[in-house]
Structure 1
Amino acid sequence: MSAIRDLASDLAARSDARLRDLLTARPDLILPPVPDFAALAARASTRISVQRALENLTEPELDVLTAVQLTAHSDTGQSTTAGWLRAEIAGATVKVLDGILAHLHSLALVRRAPPPGDAPDADRNRRFYLPVQSLGEALGPYPAGLGRELPQLARLLPSYAQRLPAAVELLRGLGLDVPVAGTAATTDDAAAVVQRAVSSPASWEALLAKAPERTGDLLGRLSVSAVGTSPAAAGDDSSPIQWLIRHGLLARLDANHVELPREVGRASRGHVIIGRLRAAPPTPDLGAIRTSLRDNAAHGAVAETLRLITELVAVVGEHPIATLRSGGVGVREIRRLAEALRVDTDQASWLVELGAIAGLLALDVDTSRWRVEPGMPWLTQDRVEQWQRLVTAWQDAQRAPALVGSQLTAGTTINALAAEAARPDAPHIRSRMLAALTALSTAAEGGPGDDGRAPVLTENAVVERLTWSQPRLQRRFVRLVPGMMAEATRLGLLGSGALTELGALTAEGKLDDAAAVLRSALPAPLRHFMLQADLTAVAPGYLEPEVAAELALLSTPEGQGPASIYRFSADSLRRAFDAGQDAPSILAFLARHSATDVPQPLKYLVDDTASRYGRLRVGRANSYVRSDDDAALSALLTDPRAAALGLVQLAPTVVVSQASGPELAAVLRDLGYAPALEGAPLQPTAGRSASAGGAGSPSSSRVTVNPWTLSAEDITHQVEVLRGAGTSPASGMTTAESDTLLGLETLRKAIRLRSPVRLGFADSQGNSTRQVLVPLSVSGGRVRVIDPANEVEKVVSIHRIMDVELLTLDEGAPTDA
């Protein structure tokens, strides 16, 4: 019977609650919705869906599933059970295996099956399972690090097949119990003989006893990773590699690579598939630190990050950040920002990325420069609101700022705010990292808040814990987690390597509670500063946002640390005059918020700068109106319909406008005037921010709606649709999706069994044709087949296939497929 139909029957027999659990764990199965159980089973059997499910399995679950795939055979109905798997997995118990198999069954990665015919009577009451059809493709060619089977290597590698008969004779010469000459006359027979020789523990021990030195070490390395590097000319005939090749225990793939057959790798592991089952997560040895030191470090990091982001906003407000033609911000601009902020280039890149993902910086599409987002309320927010904004943006950002500065495969470097730093999986990795930090801290002796000490979490410990929880994502964890932990430290989620209360609450999604904790921990903001005679102001702590914003407008921040220094100069005061202030208002502000009297040198500087300010006036005009008729210009200036043009009279005969030349001419014509255009029309100079359209951050910096998220109502509705379609898996086999996958399943089964099929398809003229063919491969939407009657090879497009019938080798009698 078809594996998809069997899985459909398995799904239909489940309760509504178990179906909802399955759809919650694997939402891609019903996106888009499916009409019946057959379509649901077909989609659950696709390689892409199975690969997504594998990414969420823990290490023991993946090990057990791999053992099921390597010991069970869907084509022959050879199912397996927990008691049988225990012999293939070292350190496993039947109770643990039963629980893991039940979980894998709930995820539809295995299906219930009857016991095989040769099963002992004592085992027939156990639960037997078969893997889904596409599991082998999803696991890859080397499941559990084991190579391909001996018969498969003999079919694919002619040079290896030629060596096998001679290898059998060599094994017999070593005294092994090998059949006499003539039994291994064919390649398949020779492969079977070698299989039996390495599968017996006694024969394997005898074989290793006569092998050259260091053969066991070589087998140990290759049993972990089946493919190794070994040049054909390297080593003499007595070397371990050459000895293994001559005896058929190692296959040469090409001039530089060899592969250890699966049976030999399994024997090297002690005749098991999984060398050790780690049913519980690893518990590393961690150091500890006082919680007071941890909190001091975290709160200091929060204050420093907020101060630097505020300075970045001020620096970018004066000089926007230029971008490269290839995208991102170049090294020269990052160095300029690093000098202005008095930090290194790595921290400058991180601050630029953080400012962009938090929406503080926006890309001006006209000038290709990053500038401060107009109307951004950063300076008016208090520190807790600022921190909350940064942490929320960091959690949801589909970017990995830590990748900035790393090398790509082409040898180029990833620039800040470049598209190469986009990682759609970054929010998931951060969420998993925070969960692992919480779990390690809770499990460690002296967790957060216990006896005033907290465990110090190392990068290796966190990566090891994450790899255990999702081994298929190990490479992502190794590449991204160390940088994300450094970012979490700068945001106060970690302090001196230990998880803080802020980090624990953020991991639980309680950001408001974390903000309350931070508010109570940080000192109250100040409203005063101290003015000094050297034209500087010293803020002994964090100033209120309004006071800090006003002081930053009047002066230039200097220095680092909690006590900020601001220096007054003619340039900084002119900046305040440009913002519309005057000398009395500036002196009043200083007198109101200074803990000391306003120094006389500072008063002189303010008055002197104000007296020289404004002798020359600069404004902006996009167009002008010139006329010798003073009365016409006066009438235009007083016309209320022309108020939107922003007209300003510069001279008796000249009026300027903020509108462009063509716009001004069009409006004047509508008002009844007949203007004439002089020279080339002016273009508007106002910059347009990329954020005006809702995308003010770099590529993929804002998280998008997760396409694999379903609501409870969606799942309930889908279950109702499935129940309404009937519980019989044969009642809903008319959908195009399930029909196509059933046909592909039959073709792949015929390829594995090397059996012919009766294929019904439409030819190039649209005529229906039925032929007996032997399929060779399926890929790229096409099936490569051999026509045995005409002895020619053909290629048939899958969309032209109407039906597939599996035949036996004798006279094409149909089988139960």
Structure 2
Amino acid sequence: MALVLPGLALPHLQVAEALAALGPTPRAALGDLLGVSGTESARGLDEALGTLADHALVWPDGEGLLRMAAPLRQAWQTPLGLDAPLARLLADMTSEELRRMLVALGVRTTGNTKQQRLTALVDHHSDAERVAEVVAGAPAVTRELLERLAGHETEQPESQTEFTILGAPGVPLSDSEPGARWALERGLLVQDHRRYGATRMPAEVALALRGADWHAPFEPVPPSVRSTPVTPAEADQEAAAAATAFAAHAASVLAVCSASPPTRLKSGGVGAREMSRIGKAAQCDDIVVRLALETAYHAGLLARDGSQVAATKGYDAWAQREPAEQLTALLQAWRTLPLTPAQARDEDGKVLPAIAGSPPCEGCAQARDGLLTAAAHLPAGQGAKSAAELGPLVAWYRPLADQLPQDSTPFATLAREAELLGVVGRGALSCIGAALQADDVEALAAACQRLLPTATRAARFGADLTAVVTGTPSAQLASLLDTVADREAGGTASVWRFSPGSVRRALDAGRTPEAIAADLAAVAVGALPQPLTYLINDTARSHGRMRVTSAASVIHGEEPALLAELAAHRKLAGLGLRLLAPTVLVSRIPLDKTVAALRAAGYAPVAESADGTVRVEQNRHRRAATPVPHPRAPGGTSSRQGTSARTKGSLAAVDVGALAAKLQAAPPVAPEPDPASGIPFGTDTEEIVAGHARLLSLTDVRQLAHAIDKGQDVTIEYVAASGSRTVRTLSELDLDPPYLYAWCHLRDDERVFTLSRIHGVMPA
């Protein structure tokens, strides 16, 4: 059931909700409630019933009634804002209470059994005209109360395309409410016979009060979208340009991550600062960086490596492939992502990290499926004015899909993702999108091969010290240019610029000026420009004119022969001595260890301070701490002697066999409570919480485990995925390691908390 419902369209859920409100009913009665009139709405009802029947959710029985699966009925606590039928609400009433209701209504019954009286009362309330007649004769305050209650539960969302599961039935109302007693005496309102709990309005009464003109919401036709004529060739052409640019940008982003792995936040994920660094180096926007990181991580090209996110061995093979093959792997990952990768902010407007390891979002996957379905059902030869206008269609095809809090237009971020990936072009589904919608891997690979050009293996070098590569550069070409030049732009055409600093970077990596010039000439269209050749040679002439070496300590003296002897001494080979000048040696070992090694070899060096003066060594005498005296034994005997004597006496007096039998016969001992808090030690829940919430102290672990076991409220200090700290009070705790599901009083909503991000626990 949980797998079927998210994939149903809005009219399917509306029909199911109406049937859940009516119970087993003929098709005609269902159509009347939904306001079906006309061929189009009747066809929509038949199509919805057929879809529900295909999933074994609704079926006709032998009596001409439509019945539904019991679990589907439980999806709504108050379908259409209606409470349970009268027969169910009055099931616990006594026969005498039912008789008094019939007398108050002026209804006579031939039988005196409870079932006969209940049947007569249900028959009366099922007649909307008779209920309206009774209400018309009620006191004015009662009529206002009944109309208010019937209208209170039928409030609809502003957008009819929104689908919500309503809250718990009934309203808090006592029988002392003005007008309530009159309605309770006639069964127009029902309360527990012990006068306990909420007052509930039977479904028959609510429908009668709403009137014959009221109908349940039913939208069998999808909303209209502003469209424009688009041919498949035009859509593919637009998609090809976008897909080519994204493939090049993704290759650049992953190349940056391979060369300089981004550092993860303490709370997990790649933060905004690291993404900004990657975007600047790869010359692309934040949304492209997020999209590339998330799809690459899901495709196995990136992985968490301690405090960093590093490229995997799979990335090395991926980088050598053609752009079409690279994009195919990323598109397959995007299709199955359990999140919306371009989501940059949470419901509080705080920036979210990428690759944060958030709980799976089934609604996000349904939104992606709804976008592909909506674009696929556009009229042939038509496309939306803009991809963002597909949002209402997505909400109609997948009403249970999650919308991002950062979107001012429904599903705008998701539509932008589809445009960047080439899934949608000019508001219509491209051949790439059609293959994704059909979940056909072979068709997806063929579409990418057709739309994306092969990798470019040559560059055009200009006299302005730039290199331009049209299309997507091959991995070898991009690596060569990244080594010798700085990338300035990317996309359908990439631009690199040479400078003394970039050429020096290549020389520092061990390349010679001759090798640099030869490698660039091998990939150049034509001869290398003279300014570029001059730049390489001029930079090489000044490269290495001075050298910097590292030394842990320096040995110098006035006798070159002595220092030459030290450098050749076999026993001092471990010092790594190197002669820089006739009177200067450098050692790779720190000063104190170098001095000790020289003295062990028979030499007499002295150590110098940082200012060049001789360091005077002073011997420091080590002294032990004052020992703590042993505690005195009773009676003046020393502790050690008394203990020994008592131990020998005890062992002689104890019967070991009797002690073992006594221990075996003893009942199991329950965990003792903590004297300070009264919470038991060592419960199973405590072990589970301690295994995941490693930042909590032992006391906090016990406090949280006790609240989970006893169903108590608790206050926690929580570090969100964005790194911000909040203090939240939680109720209805449900442990599902490594997550904690609870009702958050701060957000007034059910939230999911990661145990490892809980940094403190306090009583509520």
TM-score range relative to shorter protein: 0.5 to 0.7
SS in 2 for 1:420: coil
Please identify, of 84-93 and 594-603, the stretch whose mean Cα deviation from structure 2 is larger: 84-93
The one of 331, 337, 344 equivalent to 1:391 is 331
Alignment partners' CA distance in 2, 1:650 and 1:164: 106
Mapping of residues 632-647 of structure 1, within 5 Å: none
Kept in 2, the 8 Å contact 1:404–1:421? The answer is no
- Corresponding letter in the other structure for 1:407: E
Note closer, same or farther for the CA distance 1:489–1:455 as it changes in structure 2 (3 Å cut): closer
Amino acid at match of 2:308: R
In 2, distance between residues paired with 1:95 and 1:490? 37
Matched residue, 1:356: 297
5+ residue gaps, structure 2: 157-165, 551-565, 580-584, 589-707, 709-764
Q: Which residue of structure 1 lines up, in the alignment, with residue 631 of structure 2? A: none
Partner of 2:648: none
The count of aligned residue pairs is 544
Asked if 1:554 corresponds to 2:484, the answer is yes
- Determine which of 25, 36, 53 is the counterpart of 1:91: 36
Q: Secondary structure at the match of 2:347?
A: coil
Q: Deviations over 1:39-75 (max 9, x none)?
A: xxxxxxxxxxx55455555666656666666666xxx
- Of the candidates 323, 340, 355, which is equivalent to residue 417 of structure 1? 355
Q: How does 1:501-540 map to 2 (within 5 A)?
A: 501-522=431-452, 526-540=456-470
Matched, 1:288 2:225: no
The aligned residue for residue 203 of structure 1 is: 130
Q: C-alpha deviations, 1:165-223, integer Å up to 9, x for none?
A: 99999xx7xxxx6449x99x999999988855653232345467787789879745623
How far does residue 566 in structure 1 lie from its aligned partner after superposition?
A: 0.7
1:304 to 245, 258, 266: 245
Q: What is aligned with 1:381?
A: 321
Decide which of 341, 347, 359 is 1:407's aligned counterpart: 347
Is the Cα contact below 8 Å between 1:493 and 1:502 reproduced in 2?
A: yes
Give, as a single letter, the amino acid of the residue that structure 2 aligns with 1:394.
W
CA distance in 2 between counterparts of 1:203 and 1:300 reads 68
Report the CA distance between 1:329 and its aligned residue: 1.9
Match of 2:74 in 1: 138
* Equivalent residue for 2:271, pick from 330, 344, 347: 330
- Residues 524-570 of structure 1, C-alpha deviation per residue, up to 9 Å, x if partnerless? 65444333344322335444443333222221111355342211234
RMSD: 5.7
Judge conservation of contact 2:423–2:433 (CA < 8 Å) in 1.
yes
Length-normalised TM-score, structure 2:
0.56
Contact residue 98 and residue 114 of structure 2 kept, 8 A: yes
Q: Aligned letter for 1:446?
A: G
Larger radius of gyration: 2
**Structure 1 residues 413-459: Cα deviation after superposition (integer angstroms, max 9, x where no partner):** 64211122633675565445423431x12xx25347xxx99999611
Contact 1:529-1:595 within 8 A present in 2 as well: yes
**What is the distance in 2 between the residues matched to 1:54 and 1:511?**
26
For residues 230-249 of structure 1, what are the structure 2 equivalents within 5 Å?
none
**1-side partners of 2:499 and 2:191: how far apart?**
76
What does 1:72-151 correspond to in 2, within 5 Å?
A: 90-91=35-36, 109=57, 134-135=70-71, 138-150=74-86
Q: 1:295 to 1:200 in 2, by over 3 A?
A: same
C-alpha contact (below 8 Å) 2:17/2:76 kept by paired residues: no
The match for 1:222 among 153, 163, 187 is 153
Is 2:397 the counterpart of 1:465? yes
Flag the 1:295–1:567 CA change in 2: closer, same or farther, 3 A: same
Matched, 1:446 2:387: no
Return the alpha-carbon distance in structure 2 between the equivalents of residues 316 and 349 of structure 1: 13
Asked if the contact 2:173/2:199 (under 8 Å) is kept, the reply is no
2:74 counterpart SS class: helix
Deviation larger for 303-312 or 600-609: 600-609
Shift of residue 319 of structure 1? 2.9
Q: CA deviation at 1:282?
A: 2.7
1:447–1:164 Cα change, 3 Å: farther
Alpha-carbon distance between aligned partners in 2 of 1:560 and 1:53, rounded to the nearest angstrom: 43
Residue-by-residue CA offset, 1:549-593 (whole Å, 9 max, x unaligned) = 322222111135534221123443344345553211211233343
8 Å contact kept, 1:231–1:255: no
Could you tell me which residue of structure 1 aligns to residue 311 of structure 2? 372
The 3 A distance-change label for structure 1 pair 650 and 413 is: same
Contact 1:269–1:275, Cα closer than 8 Å, also in 2? no
Partner of 1:802: none
Q: 2:421: which partner in 1?
A: 491
Q: Secondary structure of 1:139's partner?
A: coil
Give the 3 Å change call, closer, same or farther, for CA 244–420 of structure 1 in structure 2: farther
Letter in 1 for 2:381: G
Q: Note if contact 2:188-2:205 (Cα within 8 Å) is conserved in structure 1.
A: yes
How far off is 1:460 after superposition? 0.8
Work out the percentage of aligned pairs sharing the same amino acid.
26
Which residue is 2:532 aligned to? 602
Residues 379 and 549, structure 1, Cα contact 8 Å, conserved in 2: no
Q: Distance in 2 between matches of 1:287 and 1:95?
A: 25
**Is 1:144–1:273's contact at 8 Å kept on the other side of the alignment?**
no
Using the alignment, how far apart are the partners of 1:262 and 1:191 within structure 2? 15
- How far did 1:618 drift? 8.5
Q: 2: CA distance between counterparts of 1:191 and 1:572?
A: 91
Say if 1:149 and 1:107 are closer, same or farther in 2 by CA, change over 3 A: same
Q: Is the 8 A contact 2:364 2:402 kept in 1?
A: no
The code of the aligned residue for 2:391 comes to E
CA apart distance, 1:308? 2.0
Q: How far apart in 2 are the matches of 1:105 and 1:512?
A: 32
Is this contact kept in 2: 1:398–1:427, CA < 8 A?
Answer: yes
Q: Which residue of structure 2 lines up, in the alignment, with residue 566 of structure 1?
A: 496
Post-superposition Cα deviations, 1:113-139, rounded to whole Å, max 9, x if no partner, equal 665xxxxxxxxxx6x67655x437633
Contact 1:454 1:498 in 2 (8 A): no
Residue of structure 2 equivalent to 1:319: 260
Q: Residue 593 of structure 1: which of 523, 529, 534 is its match?
A: 523
Matched residue SS, 1:284:
coil
Structure 1 position 312, deviation (Å): 1.4
Change (3 A) 1:349 1:106: closer
TM-score by length of 1: 0.53
Give the letter for the 1:387 counterpart: L
What is the rounded CA distance, in whole Å, between the counterparts of 1:275 and 1:230 in structure 2? 21
Return 98-107 or 390-399, whichever deviates more. Answer: 98-107
1:289/1:456 contact within 8 Å kept: no
Contact 2:390–2:415 (CA under 8 A) maintained in structure 1 = no
Partner of 1:586: helix, strand, or coil?
helix
- Quote how far apart the aligned CAs of 1:464 are: 0.5
Identify the range of structure 1 (370-379 vs 382-391) with the bigger mean alpha-carbon deviation: 370-379
- Cα-to-partner distance string for 1:760-792 (whole Å, 9 max, x where unaligned): xxxxxxxxxxxxxxxxxxxx9xxxxxxxxxxxx
| Preserved contact between residue 290 and residue 453 of structure 1 (Cα < 8 Å) | no
- Structure 2 contact 485–499 (Cα < 8 Å) conserved: yes
SS in 1 for 2:296: helix
Per-residue Cα deviation, 1:623-659 (whole angstroms, up to 9, x for no partner): xxx99886999xxxxxxxxxxxxx9x99799999xxx
Counterpart check, 1:576 vs 2:514: no
AA aligned to 1:401 is P
Give the secondary-structure state (helix, strand or coil) at the position aligned to 2:496: strand
CA distance in 1, matches of 2:267, 2:520: 47
Letter matched to residue 371 of structure 1: A
1:384-417 Cα deviation digits (max 9, x unpaired): 1221121112123333314442237xx9764211
Structure 1, unpaired ranges of 5+: 1-49, 73-78, 116-125, 468-472, 620-625, 634-646, 657-779, 781-817
